[in-house]
Amino acid sequence: MTQQTGKITGISGNMLIVEFEGTITQNEVGYAVRGNERLKSEVIRIQGNKAFLQVFESTKGLSIGDQVEFTSELLSVQLGPGLLTQIYDGLQNPLPELAEEHGFFLPRGVVLDPLGGDREWHFTPIAKKGDVVRAGDYLGSVPETQFKHYIMVPFDFQGEFTVESIQPQRDYSVKATIATVKDKKGQTHNLAMQFSWPVKLPVQAYKEKILPTEPLVTKVRIIDTFFPVAKGGTYCIPGPFGAGKTVLQQITSRYADVDIVIIAACGERAGEIVETMREFPELTDPKTGRSLMERTIIIANTSSMPVAAREASVYTATTLGEYYRQMGLNVLLLADSTSRWAQAMRELSGRLEEIPGEEAFPAYLESRIAEFYERAGLIQLNNGEQGSLTIGGTVSPAGGNFEEPVTQATLKVVGAFHGLSRARSDARRFPAIDPLESWSKYKSIVPAEMVQICRDFLVKGSDVRQMMMVVGEEGTSIEDFVVHLKSELLDSVYLQQNAFDKVDAATSTERQQFMMEKMISILQAEFDLTEKEEARTFFYDLRQRIIDWNFIEWNTDEFKKQEQMIDELIKGKVKNA
Amino acid sequence: MRKVYNKVISVAGNVITVKASGVGYEELAEITTRRGKSLAQVIKLEDDLVSLQVFAGSRGVSTSDEVRFLGHPMQVAFSEDMLGRIFTGSGVPRDGGPEITENLIEIGGPSVNPAKRIIPKRMIRTNIPMIDVFNSLVASQKLPIFSVSGEPYNELLARIALQAEVDMIILGGIGLKFDEYMKFRNTLEEGGALNRSIFFVHTAADPVVEGLMVPDLALAVAEKFALQGKEVLVLLTDMTNFADSLKEIAITMEQVPSNRGYPGDLYSQLASRYEKAVDFEGAGAITTLAVTTMPGDDVTHPVPDNTGFITEGQFYLRNGRIEPFGSLSRLKQQVNADTRKDHRAIMDGMIQLYAQYLETEEKRSMGFRMSPWDDKLLKYGKLFEEGMMSLSVNIPLEGALDRGWSILSQCFKPEETGLRSELVKEFWPETVQAEELEAAEETV
């Protein structure tokens, strides 16, 4: 097939209008050529003999009449061993390697090998000659950090194939042929460890999708107990600036009980992802004792990097997540922030002069957001094993107002909503997840009745506080006052958590369950309190002791001693003890 | 020799269209009108139609005016000779001095590779306690000053410029009033800082489009100096004017507006400027302070709102003081552990007490009776505002911390402050305490 080319006839921002002859495909990749530079672009609209392309880099200096080379390939990522520990831009260009070759700045028109080219991996075959295989079936495996990385039949192989030959156990580079398979028509295909997949299409090389039920423990109490996330589920974190979205994502990326974490820094501050990039290699994963970076992939397309690549970065991250899910692993994708991704779509839509929807977002905003979150899920693989991809996206609503298109479209499709509130973050109550507004459709790690009791107290406590603002403390009965103090206690010692303390930052499942029982017993106890001042002193004292307790390591002697002190304090005040 | 075109097809707003070929995107052109010469930049190419935004505005452009393409995008000189000089938004001298044309560099260059950034850890001292003690400024930080018209934000910028421990200062003025800019200049001159400053000033009287270039000019020059190892402080005032210029061009170009008329790419446009703040591994750094006036004192207005999502915190300037609440330096944790061991404790402790003072003040204004504790808080609040918050206070960090202890000891007993006992032991000014407390009780 001869290469299609076209000529630029219009430029506006990062959009090109290109006149072409022959056949081109929607979403195929083209390169705008200017001197030695080749600028990667994607076809986003075709009209007669004109194609509209979004350029993933700055269009400065391009000129009418410049040539565009079409590739007939959709925008794709390379899959294979070597993805873990990598730091990519939105188009899977490895940033550290770019820095090594080009210094401080991101050069235009440079594409590097995302899997490090010549590196060799120790391949152990699984499939045998004569086996019948389908897309996603395992041909062999290589060790990658602490994982067994399965080498699969490429996902775009349709139908059944017979293994003709497979290479013996030995080191190979990702591009070397490790197996040969024959299709039904008798044509043979050489397979390497590396293959590509178009980022905007979901990988579906599995048996079926199943309902997510198992909780994904993040070790953040308010999430796991009150607004849980399931392995294979979806959740969103909307919040105004300064409410702690990023800290919450960082904490989750460190402590979440999953195999692999993919961090997509999409249009946010470079400084934040730099912290992750520099700190993760130094931190150890408590589960495996190895560097946290060994289970992490970072996609960094920060706010000053090209907008079109920002749109692609979310899909790149999702595709990598789907790839590892096919190996039967539990993957967590954290996208910060999906609003920037939506804004990238808006910029593009504006350039295409499409009729705008609400706040100038394109009419297809909702369906794009739905498509994205639908790529999460728990799946049963062809071999019966399970794998999951969980997606958590932050949303940055303008002015912190949730009544805006991106938040609303997201709420329709996610399984849990962790709404951050300005009032809570101003009061330094972190994590600032609003306990009254947030919700989750997944199962908690504690019994539902307990959660209900707590929620009732939080609601009643909030009602009492509203009333107290009108009638003052004097006009409030002691019973109501105690309800208020109990709900405040629950808030201070359970909902709030200190992300910067090494013990309190992550609370294990057992500890949460244990603490929840203690909290329920306090909430349900009737205390012998007649004076408000006395009640306040008692609850403040109790609060201080439980907060101290939160900072003590689980199940140590010190922990038990502190528990005794708390129990004694309660015993002294409880009625009919 | 570049080709000259003399047929202007359309003039709309500050955008003109000519028929031309072989023109590059974002290329610069020079247009000669009856009123003189002006630069213009290509913002759209369609077949042989070239749209340009004219920096001097389109007023007086005739259809037969001459347009000469220069074959390169916007450039700015970069040289030590620029220190102490003042330029316009087109990079032309405003101070009557000679034009500088050596070492031309392109503006709006590529973004820094995140892999080459380092975690910032150098504090920039300003001798303003509300910054140094409570929200330390860190090299490579980008911080806006959220304020409203009429507040002394430019005075604050000038003071920071004078006192900050940096090698050089680059001021980008966008829509600056003439007298504001003169005051700026005079302040720096009197303080002896002019010879380490470069000004790019677009005044309110200049054509709107010219203001669009100012941040890029200032940051391009800053970047080059930072790469040479210089610690550069970039001051931008006022970024709301910059956003308004963007809005004007976008609407002229018939782009679909997203929010209150601002273009959909406002966030990206602001981010590409703010993200130039950087600490280069093995070289210098760029720190950016930018005034953003909030129309109607509304922080949810698109300009401050988008800014807040981009920058690393914000200072609120209200009633001539930096507000202790709402103001935040996201990077302060990186530096304030290594200054003096009482820094964090004073920072948290004094703010918590000030919050209590505000509650008491509210109660007092509603006519409630004041308890002895309330009286202590009232005294504390007054001392805190005079000794710490007032912009006239000018002391180094250590002095400010000592003053913090002194204020506390004049109002409270150690255990009332909630400060850790070991710090109290070391820093509580014993001698002052007894007499001052008595004196305090007498006056209250």
Residues A447-492: tens digit of each pLDDT: 999 999 999 999 999 999 998 877 877 788 999 999 999 999 999 9
Q: Model pTM?
A: 0.91
CA distance B98 to chain A (A): 30
CB contact under 8 A, A360 and B25: no
Give yes or no for a contact between A152 and A223, defined as CB atoms under 8 angstroms apart. no
3-state secondary structure (DSSP) of residue A298:
strand
Of A59, A98, A269, nearest to B113 by CB-CB distance is A98
pLDDT digits (tens, 9 = 90+) for A379-438: 999 999 999 999 999 999 987 889 999 999 999 999 999 999 988 887 778 899 999 999
Structure-token pair, residue A522: 């306090």
pLDDT at B256 over 90: no
pLDDT at position A288 = 86
Mean pLDDT within B44-69:
91
Higher pLDDT, A35 or A187: A187
Handedness of CA A68, A70, A74, A75 (dihedral sign): negative
pLDDT at position B432 = 53
3-state secondary structure labels for all residues of B192-254: CCHHHEEEEEEECCCCHHHHHHHHHHHHHHHHHHHHCCCEEEEEEECHHHHHHHHHHHHHHCC
For residue B325, list chain A residues with Cβ-Cβ distance below 8 A: 426
pLDDT at B333 over 90: no
Q: Measuring CA to CA, how many Å separate A271 from each of A152, A248, B148, B207? A: 37, 16, 28, 35
Nearest CA to B164 among B330, B288, B336? Answer: B288
Q: How many CB atoms lie within 10 A of CB A65?
A: 12
pLDDT band at A576 (very low <50, low <70, confident <90, very high): low
CB contact under 8 A, A274 and B302: no
Chain B residue closest to A427 (CA)? B325
pLDDT band at B431 (very low <50, low <70, confident <90, very high): low
The listed range with the strongest mean pLDDT (A142-146, A472-476, A543-547, B249-253) is A142-146
**CA–CA dist B379, B383 (Å, integer):** 6
**CA–CA dist B275, B196 (Å, integer):** 23
pLDDT band at B259 (very low <50, low <70, confident <90, very high): confident
pLDDT band at A5 (very low <50, low <70, confident <90, very high): very high
Task: Establish if A300 touches chain B: CB-CB under 8 angstroms.
Answer: yes
Distance of CA A160 to the CA centre of its chain: 34
CA angle B262, B265, B271 (to 5 degrees): 110
pLDDT digits (tens, 9 = 90+) for A79-92: 999 999 999 999 99
For residue A11, list chain B residues with Cβ-Cβ distance below 8 A: 25, 44-46
Nearest CA to B168 among B283, B78, B331, B286? Answer: B286
pLDDT at position A131 = 96
Task: Establish if A58 touches chain B: CB-CB under 8 angstroms.
Answer: yes
Residues in chain A: 577
Handedness of CA A83, A84, A87, A89 (dihedral sign): positive
Interface size, chain A vs chain B, as Cβ–Cβ contacts under 8 Å: 170
pLDDT band at B57 (very low <50, low <70, confident <90, very high): confident
Task: Establish if A343 touches chain B: CB-CB under 8 angstroms.
Answer: yes
Give yes or no for a contact between B266 and B258, defined as CB atoms under 8 angstroms apart. yes
CB-based contacts of B392: which residues, under 8 Å, 6+ apart? none
CB contact under 8 A, A99 and B46: no
State ipTM: 0.87
Give contacts of A 387-416 with B, CB under 8 A: 396, 398-401
pLDDT at A183 over 90: yes
- Cα radius of gyration rounded to whole Å, chain B: 25
pLDDT at position B348 = 86
DSSP A226: I
CA angle B439, B443, B444 (to 5 degrees): 115
Handedness of CA B253, B256, B260, B264 (dihedral sign): negative
**CA–CA dist B132, B188 (Å, integer):** 21
3-state secondary structure (DSSP) of residue B95:
coil
Report chain A's mean pLDDT, rounded to a whole number. 93
Of A58, A105, A303, nearest to B113 by CB-CB distance is A105
The letter for the amino acid at A264 is A
β-bridge pairing B168-176 and B142-147: unpaired
Give contacts of B 128-187 with A, CB under 8 A: 140
For residue A9, list chain B residues with Cβ-Cβ distance below 8 A: 46-47
pLDDT band at B442 (very low <50, low <70, confident <90, very high): very low
Q: How many CB atoms lie within 10 A of CB B34?
A: 8
pLDDT at position B29 = 94
Give contacts of B 253-282 with A, CB under 8 A: 255-259, 263-265, 267-268, 271-272, 274-276, 280
CB contact under 8 A, A64 and B257: no
Of B22, B45, B264, nearest to A346 by CB-CB distance is B264
State which H helix or E strand residue B175 sits in.
strand B168-176
Q: Which domains, ranges and CATH numbers included, belong to chain B?
A: 4-73 (2.40.10.170), 76-334 (3.40.50.12240), 343-443 (no CATH)
The letter for the amino acid at A479 is E
**CA–CA dist A253, A279 (Å, integer):** 12
Residues in chain B: 444
pLDDT band at A2 (very low <50, low <70, confident <90, very high): low
Give yes or no for a contact between B123 and B141, defined as CB atoms under 8 angstroms apart. no
pLDDT at B443 over 50: no
pLDDT at B312 over 90: yes
Nearest CA to B81 among B96, B105, B101? Answer: B101
Mean pLDDT within B365-374:
82
Half-sphere CA count of A213, side-chain side, radius 13 A: 3
pLDDT at B102 over 90: no
pLDDT digits (tens, 9 = 90+) for A31-43: 999 988 999 999 9
